Chains A and B, each alone.
Chain A
Amino acid sequence: MAELILLLLRCSVLFSAVHAVFEDQVGKFDWRQQYVGNVRFAHFDNQIQSSKKVLVATDDNVFAAINTRTGELFWRHVDKNGPEGSIDALLLQGQDAIMVVGDGRLLRSWDVNVGGLNWETVLDSGSFQSASLVGQQDHVRYVAVLKKAAISLHYLSNGHQKWIENLPESDTVDYQSVYSDGTGEVFVLGLVPNSHITVVVYSLDDGEILKQFTVDCPWLSELLSSCSVIGRGMLTCVDLLSLSLNMFDLHSDSEMNRVSLESIGLEVSPSFRPLLVSTQPNAARAPLSEFLLQMGPDQHVLLQLHMGQILTLRDFKPAMLASFATSGEKTVVAVMSPKNQTASSINLFSAETGRRLLDTTLIFTMDPNGGKPVQLYVQAFLKKDDSVGYRVMVQTEDHQLTFIQQPGRVMWTREEALSDVVTMEMVDLPLTATQAELEGEFGKKADGLLSMVLKRLSSQLILVQAWATHLWKLFYDARKPRSQVKNEVTIENLSRDDFNLQKMMVMVTASGKLFGIDSKTGTIVWKHYLENVPLNAAFNLMVQRTTAHFPHPPQCTLLIKDKDTGLAMLHVFNPIFGKKSHISPPLLPQPILQSLLLPLMDQDYAKVLLLVDDQYKVSAFPSSKNVLQQLQEMASSIFFYLVDAEQGRLSGYRLRTDLSTELIWEVVLPTEVQKIVSVKEKKANEHVHSQGRVMGDRSVLYKYLNPNLLALVTESTDQHQERSFVGIFLIDGITGRIIHEAVQRKARGPVHIVHSENWVVYEYWSTKSRRVEFSVIELYEGMELYNSSVFSSLDRPLAPQVLHQSYIFPSAVSAMEATMTEKGITSRHLLIGLPSGGILSLPKMFLDPRRPEILSEQSREENLIPYAPELPIRTEWFINYNQSVSRVRGIHTAPSGLESTCLVVAYGLDIYQTRVYPSKQFDVLKDDYDYMLISSVLLALFFATMISKRLAEVKLLNRAWR
């Protein structure tokens, strides 16, 4: 009985490591940023004049409304990832947003004001082609959805299908667009490439085919980009070969009318494909007879169709972008043209006349570290004096959105590239200028005693001064209410804090834009867009020099590799300021197989990066004489491994002194049986504090701490649920020795794996029990260490003991990582990103293969939790309380200066930064620590001793007199 009580007590003590935050701590050291992704469609909500919403649908299957005043999100809907949730079309009608989702699988209508779903209909199968609003008698009531073989019409009010009709000859004709102009007819345009256009006219009322005809155009290969309907049903196409505009009336079934571009005085840039843009402000009416024709990368022409004649209203040159916008009855054209190197101007022109509107110039300052503008979204509105005002949202190729108001005030910018972070690092901030001054004193060579003394005195003086200003600032700030105190982060005041809790997050995004984000506030300190990054690039970010080597600036190197060709390039930059380094990286003409950062340093304290090319030759960066000499000396102890997942081959190499390599081991996993899905090595900056675990009988079980151990995960090629398996191999990366191989039968991926210290934790899907399971492997050397002073893979003849245990986990997992602290004393937790948006901090104690099935005295002594097959999920373990993080793709952990504290960044669609304390804050006073009480008690005690001393003296004196 007493034992049980004791056990309960112990358990309660053990598990009471609560990570939840108090209400007043919300947002104190954590922040979240929500993103939507690269914008695919954007519409301004124009139903009321004062509306401040822009609706965006993105490549990441997100539909959101952004506040145009602040750039924040009003609401956001995140759909399924992948093609199933992809947004094919977004149409805006009044306060309804109509959306086609998942290649024409679903039709949805949203209420724009609150972001609620009005209705949703499942459409018939068939790949989506086009969607259009259809109106009749000035009222838009329907939406037409064109699929590969059918067209259907739905009511806007409830989504019900009005009619659905099959398209004639749909196996030969490629129907691409649907058009209506409020006359009660729906035109479907199809194309047989290089032959003819097919036009089918349906009745709006019952879907009956009214008319069907073809128009010969053997020169046309693409309908959507070269053709558009202009004015009252005049289909206009650009002929690329003869450089002419071809028009025919959809209503009258006439011949093609050809107008050569030359005859209207226009010249197309060589090898440019002219683009035709028309506008239809109201779906119930015909499109405008004015249209834009892009003639070259920097030329747009505004044309008008007038009585069958094409008139040039205005030739915009140079003009990078042009876009229509409508407000009320007025339609304008916004044109962006370059002004100088860093800025471009946007002007408004009347669409009817082509005249420039007065006072509509807007200056857009281009970020030298950003991309080129690719799209203009214009919000036009009527001012009180009936003139047209406008705001504009510029989308650049680095996925940035900038919202600008006249005369060029940037209201907000959104860095949507951050919705797709690929890899990141956390870099320590540099010392302050004064600290650096002090440091610099030691770095310089001595030049006389007196000058050294003077220098020391002056730097001490500076320190005193800095301290005084700091105190003054503290005092000054303390008087102001909290909300007014602003901590603006700029490059100037970026400096390390006492506990190194504030770091620079260097984030690499898939679009090729790099960011430096202050980890304390989430402010973007710098950004840098890398042009000519291939689409399917793999990134590897390495910190070559940390901030610890003043006066040398910190240095990061990003290896960008084209996954198809293997060709790579290096980008060397300063992680604090984002500036490109003046050190020119080597050109890499050969495909790169492998990169490795050695602990060797050159004379400037930069770690040496080795690059292995496809000829198995090694090049070093930096490649100074000093480095090459060191490499020659160390060559025989530099080993590396390559993994060729396609052939299932792992091979180990040793460096020779002439920087060529020698194959020393080979392991081949036949690809007919299993394929390698991931290889995980330990983190290089990980510290393990304790060499072993103390057992119940006070003996020590030593951990097998092999820094070169690789954990390799394979999945079976056979996907049958009875025969599929997940394989785990622990391989020494130096000798190629297979330390352990295990097979998890009836299991399937995706496998998430964490490899640290002497353990490997992996997660898989059990096909037999249809659930997610966790498995942990721990390696021990035994009760004796083979060689306690140093670990060498070449001299470990004994195989380690392997302990293995599995558990059930009641949720799916989207990302997994382990906490990491400065010295590795603090107990470890696993951070698990769940699809629900939560980030769970699960104590590693629960994933311990030594958890006994039957409690014994010894295991109780060891504080082992009795085995239970299911891992619990407790709500207080969610470190991000209600700040859900959508689609977590990765979790990054970094140690801080405090041993108890680990910095965590979870990234996916959103970015969330916080701190975790796996063993609670044992080295920090609590936030609500009562300084007043302790100091008043101290003072009181002090005075009490003084008074009592005095009293005692008086008493002694009195006694002496007696």
Chain B
Amino acid sequence: MDREQFSAGEHIKPGITRGRSYRARPRPMEKKQPISDRGQDPRRLELCLVNSNNGRRIGETLDAELSGYSVPLEHSFETDDVTNFRVRGALILKPGREQSVSLSQNQLSEEDRIRLKEVAAVDGLYKIRVPRVSLQSDRAERAMEGHLTAFVRACAMVESHLSDVLTLHTDVSGVLIGVSIVTLPGACRGTEVEDEVDLETFNTTLSVMAPISAPGPETALFLERLEQETEKKGKPQEQKSFFAKYWYLILGGAIFLMLSNSAQPPAGGAREQS
């Protein structure tokens, strides 16, 4: 094995934030969509914008209704840095060719709202986790050991009024490998959230991302273009005669010669004397 490659079990280099300052200017958030000439991201397989805060308890009847398989989505926010995951909602996975994931989640209780604000005040973290599951295979094979965890600053959660974007990342075989959470807007500006109602319901956008196929070298198109170019170039050039090609040069030369001849007569000289 190459020396550059690390061996099994060895842990690799560090990462830390470089330069952190959250006192940046407020910035309006209307330009969410990056301008792209390649159109929408093809990876976002299926999105279900879920606003299902109908007050039902998890796992009551939803499971059966959608004939899917549900796994808990848990969250944790504590003022001291311990981690204590509680159920936030349920991810309902529908197997089959057109896999889809939807989310049903509870309202935040009074107690939780207060705690979330407290955590935000001490710049704590809001963590979520989902179990490692496969989105494609049957129920029996789905569950694997361990969880996938992600976090966002609790203050961002509060200030965005619980508007978050969850992304589930899968590998080529459809197994969940990671989850990510961001809030919109993402910054913490220290604005006070007065209205308790704003912190009641989650406004979550959920998406699933599978790896895209990286493009290979595009030989076919290039060859086609090359052929077209040679066709375009090749034919007219053969037919053009010498005069057809360089008529403007010859004409220009002739005019120049004529002009320089006609400029010599003494007519101009006569005018100069006056």
Contacts and interface: CB of A to CB of B under 8 A. Distances in A.
Interface string A649-682: 0001010100000111111111001100111010
B213 A743 contact: yes
A673 B14 contact: no
A692 to B, nearest CB: 13
Most B Cβ at <10 Å: residue of A654, A668, A710: A668
A775 B14 CA distance: 26
Contact of B34 (A725, A789, A801): A801
A439 B149 CA distance: 52
Contacts of A43: none
A211 B219 CA distance: 70
Contacts of B268: none
Interface string B1-31: 0111111111111111111111011010001
Interface stretch (A288-296, A333-341, A591-599, A940-948): A591-599
A868 interface: yes
A197 B187 CA distance: 81
At the interface, is chain B mostly helix, strand, loop or mixed? loop
A398 B186 CA distance: 56
Interface in B176-208: 177-178, 180, 182-188
Contacts of A880: none
A54 interface: no
A927 B129 CA distance: 63
Interface stretch (B52-60, B101-109, B164-172): B164-172
Given A596-B14, A790-B24, A804 B123 contact: no
Contacts of A795: 22, 24, 156, 186-188
Contact of B214 (A668, A783, A799, A804): A804
B175 to A, nearest CB: 5
Interface stretch (A12-20, A129-137, A729-737, A911-919): A729-737
Contact of A737 (B20, B25, B182): B182
A853 B222 contact: yes
Interface in A681-705: 681
B27 to A, nearest CB: 7
A783 B41 CA distance: 17
B13 A679 contact: yes
A666 B127 CA distance: 11
Contacts of A431: none
Contact of A644 (B9, B172, B186, B187): B9
A113 interface: no
B34 A741 contact: no
B10 A766 contact: no
A642 B11 contact: yes
B262 interface: no
A797 B182 contact: yes
Interface in A780-837: 780-784, 786-787, 789-801, 803-808
A640 B15 contact: yes
Contacts of B125: 654, 664
Given A667-B177, A795-B22, A867 B218 contact: yes
Given A725-B172, A742-B212, A743-B212, A596 B217 contact: no
Interface residues of A, number: 99
At the interface, is chain A mostly helix, strand, loop or mixed? strand
Given A668-B132, A736-B178, A796-B186, A806 B7 contact: no
Contacts of A789: 21, 24-25
B13 A596 contact: yes
A780 to B, nearest CB: 8
A738 interface: yes
Interface residues of B, number: 79
A667 B178 contact: yes
Given A742-B214, A796-B186, A783 B172 contact: no
B211 interface: yes
Given A646-B8, A795-B22, A708 B17 contact: yes
A641 interface: yes
A734 B213 contact: no
A465 B150 CA distance: 64
Contact of B165 (A636, A656, A725, A797): A797
A664 B77 CA distance: 12
Interface string B145-177: 011111111001000000001010101110101
B21 A679 contact: no
A580 B32 CA distance: 55
Contacts of B86: none
Contacts of B4: 678, 889-890
A765 to B, nearest CB: 13
B137 interface: no
Given A727-B211, A728-B214, A738-B209, A638 B182 contact: no
Contacts of A667: 148, 169, 177-178
B249 interface: no
Contact of A792 (B8, B22, B167, B211): B22
Given A673-B175, A795-B186, A806-B216, A782 B35 contact: yes
A186 B204 CA distance: 85
B214 A641 contact: no
Nearest to A870: B217
A735 B150 contact: yes
A741 B225 contact: no
Given A646-B8, A793-B17, A805 B222 contact: no
A365 B214 CA distance: 60
Interface string B230-262: 000000000000000000000000000000000
B222 A734 contact: no
A797 B184 contact: yes
A639 B186 contact: no
Contact of A807 (B35, B123, B217): B217
A679 B11 CA distance: 10
Interface in B106-156: 123, 125, 127, 129, 132, 144, 146-153, 156
Contacts of B21: 789-790, 792
A2 to B, nearest CB: 12
Contacts of B14: 594-597, 610, 640-641
A126 interface: no
A804 B173 CA distance: 22
B112 to A, nearest CB: 20
A672 to B, nearest CB: 8
Contacts of A317: none
B149 A665 contact: yes
A637 B20 contact: yes
B178 A710 contact: no
Q: Which 10 A-B pairs have the closest CB atoms?
A: A596-B14, A733-B15, A782-B34, A797-B186, A667-B178, A737-B180, A869-B217, A797-B182, A741-B211, A742-B214
Interface of B: 2-22, 24-25, 27, 31-32, 34-36, 38, 41, 81, 83, 123, 125, 127, 129, 132, 144, 146-153, 156, 165, 167, 169, 171-173, 175, 177-178, 180, 182-188, 209-219, 221-222, 225
27 contacts: A596-B16, A637-B20, A639-B15, A639-B16, A641-B14, A656-B81, A662-B83, A668-B132, A670-B144, A673-B171, A673-B175, A677-B5, A678-B5, A708-B15, A738-B177, A744-B213, A783-B34, A789-B21, A793-B17, A795-B186, A795-B188, A797-B183, A853-B221, A853-B225, A867-B222, A868-B222, A869-B219
Interface of A: 422, 538, 561, 563, 566, 593-599, 610, 636-646, 652, 654, 656, 662-670, 673-674, 677-679, 681, 707-708, 710, 725, 727-728, 731, 733-738, 741-745, 750, 766, 769, 773, 775, 780-784, 786-787, 789-801, 803-808, 853-854, 867-870, 889-890
